[in-house]
Structure formats: C-alpha cells, structure tokens
C-alpha cells in the first residue's frame, strides 16, 4: 500500500513539472514544428509509430538526443506506450537543459484512439535485431531504414570496387540491388574481389555475388544480370533505380553510364583505382551545380595512359577502400544525410596513407553537360572509347 502511495506521489510530482497533453494537441504541435519522439523500444515501434516521429528508445535517449536535436529551445513532445515512460524521458531531457517539453497523455494508445496518422512499422523482429546498431543513429532511425529497404540500386561490376560496395549495401539493408557483370570468377580476382570464393572459380561473377549476398542478408532482393553493359541495353538496365554505382574497369562502360544517368536523372557514384591510388566522386544530374563525368574526363585517355589492373597491377586492399566510399555515398544519398561528394574529387594514396580533396566544377564547355553539349547516341560513345583504346 505504501508503495502505491509513493508511486502516486512520484507521478504527481512528475506531472507538476512536465506538461501532459492530449494526443490531438501533440499532433497539432508536431505540425507546427515540434519534434515528436517515440521512446518505445524497437519491437514496440515495429507495429507502427506516429507519422514523422523520431524513434529513439528510452534507454538511448540521453546518448542520442544531442545528435538528433542540439537546440535546447526546440519544442519537444515525447510519446511512449501509455504515457509513463514519456514522463520519465521528458524529465531526463529537462535535466539536460531542454526547456520546452511535453508528454502525450495515454501514449500510443491515445494516438491510435484519436485516429491520428501512423506510419507502418519499418522493422519486424528480425530487422530490429539485424539493423539495431544502425537504427540507433538519429540520422537513420526506423524511417531511414525503411527508405533503405525501399531503395533500388544498380552496381555495375562485381569486381574490386563492386565487391565491397555490394557487401556493405546488402548488410545495410538496401532492399533491391541489380548487379550487372558478364565476367567469370578467376583465381587472380580473389585477392581483392572479396565477394567471391575459391570454390567458385569459373562461375559467373553475378551469380557468385548473388550467393554471397543472399547468405549475408536473405531479406534483400538481388537481381543478377549476366550481360555486358552496352549501348543497346544501358538505359534499360539502370532505369527505375535510385542510384548507380560505377564499379566498371573500362572507359566505354563509364562513358555509357555517364550519358545514361544524366539522361535519366540518376546519381552516378564513380570510383577508379590504379596500382596504389584511387579516386571517387558523385555526379548528380538532379543538381544544377553538379559536374558530370565528362567534366573530369572530356575524352577517354589512351590505353597506355590508363592501364587496367591486369596490366598495371593493384594493391588488393585499395579497391576495398574506394568501394566502401562508394557504398557510403550511396547510403547517404538514399537517406538524404551528410554532404555528398558532388563537386569534389576525393583522391587516395595508399603508400602515403593520404586522402586529398580537389574541387571539381561543372565545365561550361563540357561535351556531356555543357551549354553546347549534344547527345549523339550511345553507339558513338562506344566508338569513341574503342578508338582511344
């Protein structure tokens, strides 16, 4: 009995310091700019959460809130299952210096009863466990994980660059991956193309990669295309995707991708490697200020000036580093977070262990995106690259 009285006094004390508001008033404040935080656990939010709410479990609130909202004067409304955990959460925020706080009376139950908008839960029990460390990031959360699950990406090449990119895109939960590669696994690939295995020498790279990705994350859909990307199929292969990752090892493919992504309005994440050095950038035709691949390479260099790995050799870990840069940029684009490598060329020297960043501006005379640029057709691009090679 005394315990019951103590609890009532404790709740009464909390309510004297933290405002409790009805669900419809909380929704009105959210629409007016307040941050609504759902402090229930991941498995609770799997059945649905208020539309636009930030999912931040009570146990991680103090650790993560400053990343999500550093402004102590922001209007914050906290919601839980029934209205008690949210009072505790609001009190914790108050101790941290946040000043405009309220708790939703009745919690999620009251929100549902009021018929307020609910976002379907992004995570079932498997996904909540699988992506738990990623979802903890306020910049990701349940909503971001749902965007990754809905994302459609094309990775051209399952070689040195594509292999690490594919592994981490699959691990991150990118839901739909199209993989284009017409080559077969060779033993000389294995020191850098870590998605393959010795037992698969002679197998299609696309199929070998699909097997590895399915074992890593059976939740995602991988569509292997055992074809070479050419003038007559480039648009069909990349259309209806959100991001294209260039893991090609030849200039003909890159020039085709550059033209097709620009025409279709799809971001292209570029990387290239040679011996001990590499570089990466993002070309996003959706942005007026973004350069394109041909701002960097107006015309293809000769084969002597740009030898491939089979001719020049490559340090095995090098494409791994650049491939992970590509995967990172792809995830950032889908989530809409951070600063993408648009207008910047990131270079890496493995021997010096040095990254450098160069400004890459749009060239008004660029044959790909300049004022007088004229698309002459994909076949002509193939011929241009063949003449240079």
8 Å CB contact between 148 and 172: yes
What is the β-pairing status of strands 152-156 and 49-50? Answer: unpaired
Give the DSSP letter of residue 170: H
Sign of the dihedral defined by the CA atoms of residues 128, 134, 140, 145, in that order: negative
Structure tokens, 145: 């994980």
DSSP symbols for 222-241: EEEE-S---TTTHHHHHTT-
Instruction: Determine how many CB atoms are found less than 10 A away from the CB of residue 360.
Output: 20
Q: Which residues of 29-40 are buried (b: 16+ CB within 10 A; e: fewer)?
A: bbeeebbbbbbb
Pairing of strands 268-274, 243-246: parallel
Site of tokens 């041909």:
294
C-beta of residue 94 within 8 angstroms of C-beta of residue 17? yes
Distance CA 257, CA 107 (A): 50
In the set 80, 295, 309, 385, the catalytic residue is 309
Tokens, residue 174: 């990118």
Closest to 385 in 3D by CA, of 266, 188, 174, 234: 234
Q: The tokens of 96 are what? A: 């941290």
Beta-bridge mates of residue 274: 277
Which helix (H) or strand (E) segment is 212 a member of?
helix 205-216
- Catalytic site includes residue 369: no
Handedness of CA 345, 290, 293, 170 (dihedral sign): positive
> Could you write out the DSSP letters of every residue in 59-102?
GGHHHHHHHH---TTS-EEEE-SSSSHHHHHHHHHHHTT--SEE
Q: Annotated active-site positions, please? A: 309
């Amino acid at each position: 009995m005394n315990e019951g009285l103590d609890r009532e006094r404790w709740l009464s004390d909390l309510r004297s310091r933290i405002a409790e508001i009805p669900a419809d008033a909380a929704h009105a404040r959210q629409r007016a700019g307040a941050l609504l935080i759902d402090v229930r656990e991941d498995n609770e939010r799997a059945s649905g959460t208020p539309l636009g709410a930030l999912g931040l479990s009570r146990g991680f609130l103090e650790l993560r809130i400053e990343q999500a909202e550093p402004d102590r004067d922001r209007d914050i409304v906290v919601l839980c299952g029934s209205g008690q955990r949210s009072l505790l959460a609001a009190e914790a925020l108050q101790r941290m210096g946040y000043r405009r706080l309220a708790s939703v009376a009745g919690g999620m139950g009251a929100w549902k009863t009021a018929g307020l908008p609910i976002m379907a839960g992004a995570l079932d029990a498997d996904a909540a466990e699988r992506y738990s460390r990623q979802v903890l990031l306020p910049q990701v959360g349940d909503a971001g994980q749902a965007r990754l699950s809905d994302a459609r990406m094309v990775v051209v090449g399952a070689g040195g660059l594509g292999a690490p990119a594919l592994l981490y895109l699959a691990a991150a939960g990118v839901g739909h991956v199209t993989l284009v590669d017409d080559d077969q696994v060779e033993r000389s690939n294995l020191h850098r193309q870590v998605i393959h295995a010795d037992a698969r020498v002679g197998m299609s790279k696309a199929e070998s990669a699909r097997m590895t990705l399915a074992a890593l994350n059976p939740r995602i859909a991988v569509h292997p295309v055992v074809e070479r990307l050419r003038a007559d199929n480039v648009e069909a292969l990349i259309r209806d995707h959100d991001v294209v990752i260039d893991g090609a090892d030849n200039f003909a493919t890159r020039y085709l991708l550059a033209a097709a992504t620009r025409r279709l309005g799809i971001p292209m994440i570029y990387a290239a490697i040679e011996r001990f050095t590499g570089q990466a950038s993002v070309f996003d035709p959706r942005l007026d200020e973004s350069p394109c691949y041909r701002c960097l390479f107006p015309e293809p260099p000769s084969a002597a000036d740009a030898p491939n790995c089979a001719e020049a050799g490559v340090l095995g870990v090098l494409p791994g580093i650049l491939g992970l840069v590509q995967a990172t940029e792809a995830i950032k684009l889908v989530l809409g977070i951070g600063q993408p490598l648009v207008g910047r060329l990131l270079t890496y020297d493995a021997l010096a262990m040095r990254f450098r960043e160069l400004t890459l501006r749009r060239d008004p005379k660029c044959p790909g995106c300049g004022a007088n640029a004229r698309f002459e057709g994909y076949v002509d691009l193939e011929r241009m690259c063949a003449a240079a090679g």
